[in-house]
Chain A
């Protein structure tokens, strides 16, 4: 059974950092790109970043480029999102998703990040 479990969310102050993790199981992790998608409270979905199977290619939405870093550890079947210089507008539930070229077939339950003073 495919499982994606996010962790690492919490309450931080503006300007602080946070590292999200996504533990993958039930599939061959190295066969898939992976993606982070976020959803602000009561709002729609926003694509954040994705990473190639071997970690050599990464793409970001402009609003996080230079502040967030997506990475993966294929030995640990884990995906990460290092978030620096956090802003109030980064407050959201962050989902990791298994990625095909046409979309995302499995999603985690999400982890909530709240940026507030």
Chain B
């Protein structure tokens, strides 16, 4: 199984500052059909289902604010929130859809400093 390891486990950032979450994969997750990295990022707020933010490592889902961006390739990926807003407090998960089981990272809890 592909293991995704997120860092840090928790993060406190001041409003308006940048937040960066990392996700490292135990193996390459390049999707053979399009040569893209099959990694997504989700945001989950308390009591709510997850929400897809980023897919193919860097493509923003429709309606997601442009302060959210994804980057990386191969085995190392990053979710960046360029200017933290109060509504961004949540747990963030990466997920690979390269090979089953489609594993998630353990989650990163983002709070306001």
Q: List the interface of chain A (C-beta within 8 A of B).
A: 35, 37, 44-47, 50, 59-62, 95, 97, 100-105, 107-110
Contacts and interface: CB of A to CB of B under 8 A. Distances in A.
Interface residues of B, number: 26
Contact of A102 (B44, B55, B93, B101): B55
Given A46-B104, A47-B103, A101 B49 contact: no
Contacts of A62: 101
Contacts of A103: 40, 42, 52, 55, 95, 97
Interface in B48-88: 48-52, 55-56, 59, 61
B49 A110 contact: yes
Interface of B: 31, 33, 38, 40, 42, 44, 48-52, 55-56, 59, 61, 93, 95, 97, 100-107
B97 A105 contact: no
Identify whether the interface residues of A are mostly helix, strand, loop, or mixed. strand
Contacts of B38: 101-102
Nearest to B91: A44
Given A45-B104, A47-B102, A101 B52 contact: no
